[in-house]
Each structure stands twice: as C-alpha cells, then as structure tokens.
Amino acid sequence: MNPDWSTDPAVWSYGLATLAFGAFSIQLILGRRGSGVGGLLLAAAVLQAAWAAASLAHAAADGALAWNLARAFDGLRYAALLAFLSMIRARGSVGGGSAAGVGRTRRLPAALLLLAVIAAHLLAPPPAATAAGGGAGALVPALLLGTSVAGLVLVEQVYRGTPEAQRWNVRPLCVALAAVFGYDLVLYSDAALFREVDANLWAARGVAHALVIPVLGIAAARNKDWRFDVALSRGVVAGSTALVASGGYLLAIAVVGYYVHYFGGSWGKALLTVVLFAGLFVFVLVTFSGTFRAKMRVFIAKHFFPYRYDYREEWLSFTRTLSNPGTPGSIRERGIRALADLVESTGGALWTRDDDGAYVQVARVNLPASDHVLLASDWLPSFLAATGWVIDLHDLRRDPAKYKVERMPSWLLQFPAAWLVVPLFDGEELLGFVLLANPRVKFELNWEVLDLLKTAGRQVAGFLAQERATEALLEARKFDAFNRMSAFVVHDLKNLVAQLQLLLKNAERHRANPDFQRDMLATVEHAVGRMNHLMQQLRSGVEPIERPGPVDLCAVADRLQRRFGTGRDGLAFDVEQGVVVLGHEDRLERVVGHLLQNAIDASGDNPRVRVRIRRDGAEAVVEVADQGVGMSAEFVRERLFKPFQSTKHAGMGIGAYESQQYVSSVGGRIQVDTAPGVGTTVRVCLPLVAARSAVAAEGAA
C-alpha cells in the first residue's frame, strides 16, 4: 500500500474516472434499446470503467495484479473503440445501413489488428519503469504509439466518410475520440523518446479521458440508430466546456510561467509573479462576464444540441424570475428581465394598456424612459394585434413595407439600442408589448426563438393581468372599508341633526335670551365645523340618476369664480362663450372645483392659477393651470387617479379618482401635463354640443 495514496494525484484522477465511466456505463445500459452498432460503444464504456478501477487500485496499492488487469482492460477498451469506429466507417455514414456488406477479406486483418492492439497494451510498462538498452523499453511504447495513430486515422476516415448533411451527428464522437487518442499519442511519444512512461502524464490520463464523457453522451443521444435512449443535460455540457476551457487557459499560463522562470534571468521571479496575477485577474473577469457566459451558451446550443433551448430549464428559470418576490423590481420589471434572458438581451421596456385604451410605458430596464402614448389605432398596436408577430426592428429599418408601414416610427428612434418588439397577449387581447435591447452576443432569430418569445409573452401577459385583477380586488376591499367608515359618519351626522333639531325646538321660547343666543351660535359653529370635518373624510361616489344633458360651461365658470375668486388676485378666468357640453351641471362644477382647489393648494401662499375654457375641434377643453410644486410622472401614472392615493395630509385620494370616473362615463378624458417644481396643467376634454342644439332641446322640453 502506498503510504501517500490519499495525496497522490493518480489516485484522485483514476478515482474520478472510475465514477465518471461507471455512471456513463449505467446510463448507456439503462438507455439500451435492442441491438445495434452501439453495443461496441457500451462495451468500450464498461471496459473503460474497469480500466479506471484497476488503475486506481494500482495507484493506491502499487500491486502487480492490479497493473496487469489495468493493461488488459486498457487493451480491450482500445480494441472496442477501434472496432466501433471500423464498424461506423464500413457503414459509410452515421445513419447508413448495416455492416453486412463488409467482406470477409477485410474482417481477418481487422481482427489481427485488434489482437495486436491488445497484445501491445499487455506489454506496456508501468509508469517511470526504466528499461535497459533499447529493447522492449523502446519497442512497446512505439507499438502503443501506433495504436493511437491508428485510432486518429480511423476518426479522420469516419468524419471524412460521413456525408456533409450527417456530419452534425458524428462531430461530437470524432471530437471526443480524437481527444482520447491525441492524449495517448502525447503519452506514448514521450515514453518512446525517454524509454519510460512519464508518471505525471499517466496520473492525469484518467481524468483527461473522463472529460470527454459529456461529448460522447451527446453523440449517443444524436444517433438513435445506435439504439440508445439517453439524454444529456446542457448544464453538464456547459460545465464540461467551461472546465476544458479553464484547463486550457491555465495550461497556457503555466507554459508562459515556466518559460519566464527559466529564461527570465534576474527578472524571472518578478515577471512570473506579474504573469500569474494577470492570468488570475483575466480568468476572474472572463468567469464572471455575462457576455462570455452568453457566448458559451450560444456556442453549446449551436454545436452540440439539435434545439437551441433546454425547454425544461428555460421554463423553470423563466417562471422563477416572474414569480419570485425576492427578485429585484416589480412584476413588470421581472417580466422584462425574463423575456430578455431568453435571447441574451441586456434589458427592455414595457408598454401596457391604460384605462383609456392607450399604451404607455410603465417599466424599463437599461433603456431610456419615454412619455410617448400610443393609441390603440396607431400602427404598432394595430399591427401587433392583427398579426401577433415578434418584430425585428433591424429588419423593420431595412424593409418597412414588410410590416405595412412607410418608415420606422419616429418615437422608436429614441431607442437606438432597441432590437425586438414582443407582443403580450392575454387571450386574444393585446395587453401590451415589450421592447427588448440588443443582445450581448450575435443572436440568430429563427422559428424556435420566435415561437418561444410569443409563448413567453403570453405568460408575462398572464402575470400582468393577474396583477391588475389583484389591484382591482384590493380597490374593492378598500371601498368596502370606505363604506363601513361611512356608517360611522352617518351616525355622527345623525347626532348633529339631533342637536340642531333640539336647538330649533327651544328657539321659539328662548330666542330673546342672550345666553341662549350665545349657546345657539356656539352650537351651530360646532355643528358646521363637525360637518366640514366629516365632509373632508367622506366624498360621495354615487352616480347621478338623471341622464346627461347640455351644460353651459360659462355658467359653471361664473359660479366657480364667485366661489373661489374672493380675495384672490392670482386667480384668472378666460372663458369662451357658448361652450356647451354633455353632462351634469352639479357634477361638472364639482370636478372643475376639485381641480381648481388642488391648483390653489399646490401653489402655496401666493397662488397663480388660470382657468381657461375653449373649443378644440369637436371637444370642449377646460384647462386649469398653476405654477405650483408639480408632480412626478411616476405619481401621475401610478397614483394620481387611483382611489385612496393622496399627497394632502388630510386628503383621502377620492377626488381625482371620482373626477376621472365621471368624466370617462360621459365620454370625456382627463390629461395631465406636469413636472416637479414647474407646475401642473390639467385638461378636461368633453364632447361638445352646439349651442343651437341645446336651445332646441330646451324648447322641446
């Protein structure tokens, strides 16, 4: 027993090889389906596991029996691999017919060659065993070198003999076996030159051969005619590829360090330190680089698998990104990231449909903000709703006619890094779309990518629709709480009414009493104050029963001017005469009065507020502008017209919500133009009614 076996690299190398080849053999056995040329590959895998186990025993115990078994299994596995390659070569292609046409005249030399291979391995000396003179110590490594060359020649013939259309299937097999024979070529060349097997090269042989197992697994999965029903995880292939790339990189650094150490003179140690530090620094940069990882994923998907995506892993990752509350950002930002990760994009922006049916930007990741509003009738929403396409903006720039438009919309030009437009459908309804940025690496769009993006877009739309439904449910619950609160308010009002009724009842008898008069005034003052307080807590949301009719906005403006204009020099009214709209006079006065009060409150001690009423085409526009504190775009988009959202200390956030609901119910809309520190302009746009029609309607009544 070797006393230092636990620290011997050969023990660890062949131990890992035993586990790897053993697991690969079990996978092939479980996936075996009937007979076929793959039986030789299965035999080679089992023999490789036995060879690695015998070599492990020799490395740990240094026994003659273990070494003889290792040599025997090494020769048998070599023979199985060469026979496997010969069988494939005789068939003419990977997916060709059978080997029945191989003549007996070819079988005899092939059998003799395989026996020679086995015999050569049986004579192989153990590592670092020096032979005397130039006898077997030089001859045996030369024979083993010949078997490696024969393997490389067969690999080349198999690859060249496979038709171009089928080389995709055979490429992983050729790469893997070329690596096995190539390593042994170096091992036996060194042994023939120095007449001994280098102990370090022999120690690394086990793990070097085990590294090709994932590639052999890919070859077995691609070639169904080998009768294996196996699958290989892309994570295993990616890990193996990263391991091989890292090993090659570190090997290059070691070679440079070796040269600097022995030929660097007095600068040797200093240069060696710099080289090692630079190598480690570059290695860390590459390892943690998103672009490098993206290139590796694309390379593996393109060269090792028939499909670009491992759909199970992609969908699990996609769902985790969307549904995990621990992921940074809102559900909207997570939706952008989930779609971007599918195509190696660096970010994106999300547009969704608002309550008015227009599409506005609601979230973004690594793309600039945009306040551009798209109506449902605009080209992009209409085209997406009609076709359901994923739009390649690079293709749109080259051939806009393909997308039924004369040129690329100007608002898209503010996104020079934009790449794809992915529609988000909730059922048959276009809920919104995502604008994705350019990918980290060159990314080929094909049917598979487009189909995956469409399906993923529907998944994101489902999450967004669920978010909207949840918000609506929360609002309904808030209104339930609001209704419960109103019951307490009604109770307080009942008490106040009772106080006033008692006051009226006693006024007839005590009206001339000065003390009663003082008490009456105090009671009335208290009741008014209490009712004002209750009115601040409660805002009526009851819709009017009567149908909308013609309303002269000039009369509404006169009442508001008398109500708000007293003592305020900064309030100005600019009213165009004869502007008549459809609505309810009291409700419209309440809407404009709410906007006017908000403008005054936002303007501080010296308000400068302007109210303007004018015609604009078929609409009447009521414009309330101030120079106050203003609002952020996020507040306007997310909170202004949502119930129970207010910036006022005593406000309940009902006024703006009630105003928008009412204006929308009579066919109008509210527009807000604001910026922090600049001021706010609110426009109420309502359907216009001709003054003559209004007079005629009044006469008919």
Q: Where are the domains of the chain?
A: 5-230, 233-306, 312-472, 484-537, 549-700
312-472 shares the fold of 5-230? no
Q: How confident is the model over 96-148, as pLDDT tens digits?
A: 444 444 444 455 455 556 666 666 666 666 665 433 333 345 566 677 778 88
**Domain 312-472 = CATH 3.30.450.40:** yes
Give the up-direction half-sphere exposure of residue 583: CA atoms within 13 A in the CB hemisphere.
Answer: 32
Least confident of 55-59, 441-445, 672-676, 677-681: 441-445
Please say whether the structural domain 5-230 has been given the CATH code 3.30.1360.40.
no
Query: Which range scores top for mean pLDDT: 5-19, 459-473, 502-516?
Result: 459-473
Q: Which of 479-493, 535-549, 555-569, 577-591 has the highest mean pLDDT?
A: 577-591
| Sign of the dihedral through C-alpha 240, 246, 248, 251 | negative
Write out pLDDT tens, residues 417-444. 899 999 999 988 999 999 999 988 777 7
Helix axis angle, 104-122 to 64-91, nearest 10°: 160
The mean per-residue pLDDT over the stretch 387-392 comes to 92
Q: What percent of the chain has pLDDT over 90?
A: 14
Residue 11 tokens read as 């023990």
pLDDT range class, residue 694, cuts 50, 70, 90: very low
CB under 8 Å to 581, separation ≥6 — which residues?
A: 550, 551, 553, 588, 620, 668, 686, 687, 688, 689
pLDDT of res. 582:
87
Instruction: Indicate the length of the chain as a whole number.
Output: 701
Contact 61, 129 (CB under 8 A): no
pLDDT of residue 123: 63
Give the predicted TM-score (pTM) of the model. Answer: 0.44
Examine the pLDDT at 487 and tell me if it is beyond 90. Answer: no
- Across the chain, mean pLDDT equals 76
Per-range mean pLDDT, top range of 115-129, 311-325, 370-384? 370-384
User: Backbone phi, then psi, for 365, in 5-degree steps?
Assistant: -140, 110
Mean local confidence (pLDDT), 624-645: 82
Name residues whose C-beta falls within 8 Å of residue 335's C-beta, 6 or more positions apart in sequence.
322, 350, 363, 434, 460, 463, 464
The arrangement of secondary structure in 549-700, i.e. its CATH architecture, is 2-Layer Sandwich (3.30)
Closest listed residue to residue 175, CA positions, set 232, 214, 122, 227 = 214
Q: How confident is the model at residue 201 (pLDDT cuts 50, 70, 90)?
A: confident
Residue 649 has pLDDT above 70, yes or no: no
Residue 660, pLDDT above cutoff 60 = yes
How many degrees, rounded to 5, is the angle at CA 215 between CA 191 and CA 146? Answer: 25
pLDDT band at 554 (very low <50, low <70, confident <90, very high): very high
Buried b (16+ CB within 10 A) or exposed e, 534-551: beeebbeeeeeeeebbbb
The pLDDT value given to residue 646: 61
